[in-house]
Amino acid sequence: MKKYFLIYFIITLHIIKLHAGWYSNWSYRKPITNNFAVGGDLTNYPLLVVMSNDTDLQNYASNNGHDILFTLIDGTTRLSHELEYYSSGTIVAWIKIPIFSFSQQDSNILYMYFGNASAGNQQNTEDVWDINYKGVWHLSQDPADAAPQMLDSTVNARHGIVKSTPAGNSPVRVTGQAGYCLEFSDESEGISNWVEIPLLNYPELTVELWGMRYNVDPVNADGFFGGRYWTALPNDREGYDISFGAGVNNNKISFAAFLTNTDSTNSFIQNYTVGAEINTWHYIAGTVDRANL
């Protein structure tokens, strides 16, 4: 089944001319005003900023976007960021903010600086994702590149390798809701492709992703993400997976945890009814601790 994977956040932006005394040697900045966090403050939060075809960035930022940097509302406290994509005024960037506030608007206002042709690359990608992130895959790289193609943004460097059966039938990089994502083949076409990442051998794990399907498979479940512990597939059932259901469950998203590799009944499965929509994005998240979902 064909799918996309993506995470995004919506912001509002405006431009002003930079005044003397603010971040040294940068000529322009934009304030970024975000909505409040939901349910409480979030600390060291990786916020996604998306802009499309911004004429100011086109005119004043460097061609590769390396002179772009972000600060707090004070205009001088610099923040770590990852530039997932930049081209001709379109930017997809992740910024690590100390507090994404539930109630204080000023904590959620940032500045984006640009317009310093002599600046080097201002990114600090690995610092955006703290040690609790065991892997972050945007799936935005070109699957035709040399392996490993799908890069892990964290310090763990669990880069993914594009694979397919028959060989040579890689997923396709397409435009998603923000930046690029991957479109996978429908197995009914006789093609199976996926991204293989190093084993995430953790007894407790939270998985988050965005996914979409183009049609409903009456027979096979459409897997988004999965892993198994310790022994090799296909016999090992100790692990987890997230999928759209098949048959009578094709309107459900399932998060399953399998606790042993010998007893297929020793498992936990949570099904969530979302409807059988096609061409509809779903944000999917689940936590497993080897005993509960």
pLDDT at site 6: 35
Residue 260 — very low, low, confident or very high, per pLDDT cuts 50/70/90?
A: low
Residue range 134-181, pLDDT digits in tens: 999 999 999 999 999 999 999 999 999 998 888 888 888 888 777 788
Q: How do 180-183 and 192-196 pair as beta strands?
A: unpaired
Q: How far is it between the farthest Cα atoms of the chain? A: 68
So where are the chain's domains? 12-128, 200-293
More confident residue, 216 or 198: 198
In tens, the pLDDT along 93-132 reads 999 999 888 888 788 899 999 999 899 999 999 999 998 9
Most confident of 7-11, 67-71, 163-167, 178-182: 67-71
Tokens standing for residue 130: 């703290």
Strand, helix or coil for residue 220: coil
Collapsing DSSP to helix, strand or coil, 172 comes out as strand
pLDDT of residue 101: 85
83 has a pLDDT exceeding 50: yes
Report the pLDDT value the prediction gives residue 247, as an integer from 0 to 100. 62
Query: Does the pLDDT at position 1 exceed 50?
Result: no
Band of residue 81 on the pLDDT scale cut at 50, 70, 90: very high
Identity of the residue numbered 216 = V
Q: What mean pLDDT comes out for the span 62-90? A: 94
